[in-house]
Amino acid sequence: MKSLRIGDKIARLPIIQGGMGIGVSLHRLASAVANEGGIGVISAAGVGFYGEKTGDFEQDNITTLKAQITQAKEESNGLIGVNIMVALTSFEALSKAAMEANVDFIFAGAGLPLRLPEFRPANTTTKLVPIISSGRAAKLLCKHWIKKYNYVPDAFVVEGPEAGGHLGFKANQLGDAAYSLEVLLPQVLEAIEPFEKEHNTTIPIIVGGGIYTGQDIRRFLDLGASGVQMATRFVPTYECDASDAFKQTYVDAKKEDIVYIKSPVGLPGRAIRNPYLEEVEQGLKHPFTCPYDCIITCKKEEAPYCITLALINAQKGKLHNGFAFAGSNAYKTTKISSIKDVFRAIKQEFKSK
């Protein structure tokens, strides 16, 4: 397996661990992946729930994110990134905090990070990697960043509709072959080519969503990707920051348990069906008072439940009051393993015909 170069940063393996909130990918998982040669990623979504509480939600997120980055770097000899949703109300503050903590990469999705280069100090080495779902979005961001900031994106993650969690597609596009990664990848490669030529640079394209095996990795590298983003495969591991009960939902899941949901934040999502989601589907509301105001697009007045609270409960193993996001291949999980064993298996799968 070839290495992945993004600017002057090189990962031994072309594998990025997808960021998973709330609290599913923190310093333990990120550092373990980095130590195996991939890029470990901390999710900034709700990160403040896993640090000291001061009563100031935004400040708690900022302080804890910096602490998580520092800890991950201390525990690893590899590359560490953060995933920050553009839809977060504190996107700007969290982006600045991550760069102050000298994180290697910011992966920014759930919206177009049009202003991200504006937050980047001149002396930082942090690379900026938007997460997109179309060639059109790649072209738009390249044109905007270059014109306004004279900054070429360091890479792109193209996330397809097989991913877990919130998805950057309309409900009627999910399951449509026209939006598969195999179709999206060449469209993005074509969209960025003029910018690479004009600025004499390379913009690596990483694909994510439904990447589960080493054979998947080899297939997309052969199609022109520089690397892959994987998340679901790393959840049922000892090092994952979620509870054992959360991980067990992956082990227990059957193919028919992986379902689409309509999230309160206005996006479709993919999750593992459980009694909590069945109650929501039947029209039962879980009343809440919004204490966080964390997502710009959340329609809290109309929402049948608070997705932040539901995901925190799930991370802690309280699945009766929450649910687990998961990618389309979560049902393939058979046991909880170590990150080292997962990487060993992926390498063997990559070699096999």
Bridge partners for 337 per DSSP: 237
**CATH superfamily to which 4-241+335-351 belongs:** Aldolase class I (3.20.20.70)
| pLDDT at residue 150 tops 90 | yes
Question: What local confidence, expressed as pLDDT, does residue 300 receive?
Answer: 66
pLDDT interval class at 289 (50, 70, 90): low
23-49: pLDDT as tens digits: 999 999 999 999 999 999 999 998 988
Which of 140, 149, 157, 72 has the alpha carbon at shortest distance from 116? 149
Amino acid letter, residue 285: K
Q: Which residue has the tokens 């999980």?
A: 333
Mean pLDDT of 3-31: 97
Rounded CA separation 34/17 (Å): 9
**Structure token digits, residue 124:** 């930082």
pLDDT interval class at 292 (50, 70, 90): low
Rounded CA separation 264/225 (Å): 33
Mean pLDDT of 274-286: 85
What does pLDDT average to over the chain? Answer: 92
**Structure token digits, residue 164:** 């877990």
Higher pLDDT, residue 187 or 179: 187
Mean pLDDT of 86-110: 94
Residue 65, classed as helix, strand or coil, is helix
Mean pLDDT of 78-89: 93
Mean pLDDT of 267-279: 91
- % residues pLDDT > 90 (the chain): 75
C-alpha distances in angstroms, 164 versus 106, 211, 231, 270, 272?
19, 11, 8, 5, 10
Rounded CA separation 62/242 (Å): 21
Q: Is 294 exposed, middle or buried (0-12, 13-18, 19+ CB in 10 A)?
A: buried
320-339: pLDDT as tens digits: 999 999 999 999 999 999 99
Mean pLDDT of 218-247: 97
Mean pLDDT of 142-159: 97
Sorted by where each begins, the domain ranges of the chain are: 4-241+335-351, 244-330
- % residues pLDDT > 70 (the chain): 95
Question: What local confidence, expressed as pLDDT, does residue 297 receive?
Answer: 66
Tell me the pTM. Answer: 0.94
| pLDDT at residue 301 tops 90 | no
Rounded CA separation 14/30 (Å): 15
Which of 35, 57, 33, 28 has the alpha carbon at shortest distance from 45? 57
Higher pLDDT, residue 213 or 53: 213
Mean pLDDT of 337-349: 98
| pLDDT at residue 302 tops 80 | no
Give the lowest-confidence range in 32-41, 85-94, 154-163, 289-298. Answer: 289-298
